[in-house]
């Protein structure tokens, strides 16, 4: 003879419901944690990039002030060459700091453009040093062209950064 089927155990159903609830809550917590970590990583990258850009801006402003003083005859050629050497070394350090950044995927292109802008500015500064040494105005013109190109790269980098920040993939 067959035994009649057991009626469902209400305690067992309750246990299963509790387990399902715990799994759902754990999944929600895990997803929120992942999203928070992504936001923290993005924020850290943005802060570090802003720090590098601020250092670059300050270095450039200081160098431009010295260059103006040189052009007005307030700084000797030898002094300006020493200032330029120190500036180029500082720019190389700034350029190297981009390599220490770990950008989130959407920001890789903007980081590459910021780095390209700084590399181009460094090339411009090296030509400017050559102009100071030789007085060759064609070298100064090339330096100015590279500086303009550097500015264009920086504008593209800012646009790319803002697009990535807003979640847009258009560039």
d(C-alpha 115, C-alpha 19), whole Å: 51
Mean pLDDT over 135-155 rounds to: 96
Q: By the 8 A CB rule, do 87 and 74 touch?
A: no
Q: By the 8 A CB rule, do 114 and 102 touch?
A: no
pLDDT of residue 170: 44
Name the residue among 54, 74, 58, 55 with its Cα closest to residue 66. 74
100 against 40, higher pLDDT: 100
Residue-wise over 2-38: b if at least 16 C-beta within 10 A, else e?
eeeeeeeeeeeeeeeeeeeeeeeeeeeeeeeeeeeee
Mean pLDDT, the chain, rounded, equals 89
The answer to whether the predicted template modeling score (pTM) of the entire model surpasses 0.85 is: no
d(C-alpha 54, C-alpha 52), whole Å: 5
Whole-number percent of the chain with pLDDT over 70: 92
pLDDT of residue 63: 96
Q: By the 8 A CB rule, do 63 and 132 touch?
A: no
Q: What angle do CA 43, 45, 46 make, to 5 degrees?
A: 65
What are the residue boundaries of the structural domains of the chain, listed by start? 46-165
Name the residue among 91, 97, 85, 82 with its Cα closest to residue 59. 91
d(C-alpha 131, C-alpha 57), whole Å: 22
pLDDT of residue 11: 78
pLDDT band at 3 (very low <50, low <70, confident <90, very high): low
Query: 6-10, 27-31, 49-53, 142-146 — which is least confidently predicted?
Result: 6-10
Axis-axis angle for helices 108-134, 137-165 (nearest 10): 170
pLDDT in tens, 22-43: 888 888 887 777 777 767 777 8
Mean pLDDT over 137-159 rounds to: 96
pLDDT tops 90 at residue 7: no
pLDDT band at 171 (very low <50, low <70, confident <90, very high): very low
């Amino acid at each position: 003879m067959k035994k009649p089927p057991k009626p469902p155990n209400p305690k067992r159903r309750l246990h299963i419901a509790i387990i399902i609830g715990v799994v759902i809550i754990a999944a929600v917590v895990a997803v929120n944690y992942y999203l928070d970590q992504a936001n923290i990583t993005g924020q850290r990258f943005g802060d570090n990039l802003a720090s590098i850009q601020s250092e670059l801006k300050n270095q450039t402003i200081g160098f431009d002030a010295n260059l103006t003083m040189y052009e007005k005859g307030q700084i000797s050629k030898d002094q300006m060459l020493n200032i330029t050497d120190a500036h180029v070394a500082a720019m190389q350090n700034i350029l190297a700091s981009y390599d220490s950044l770990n950008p989130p995927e959407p920001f890789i292109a903007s980081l590459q453009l910021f780095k390209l802008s700084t590399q181009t500015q460094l090339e411009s500064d090296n030509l400017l040093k050559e102009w100071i040494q030789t007085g060759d105005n064609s070298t100064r013109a090339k330096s100015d062209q590279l500086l303009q190109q550097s500015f264009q790269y920086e504008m593209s980098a800012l646009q790319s950064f803002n697009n990535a920040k807003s979640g847009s993939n258009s560039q």
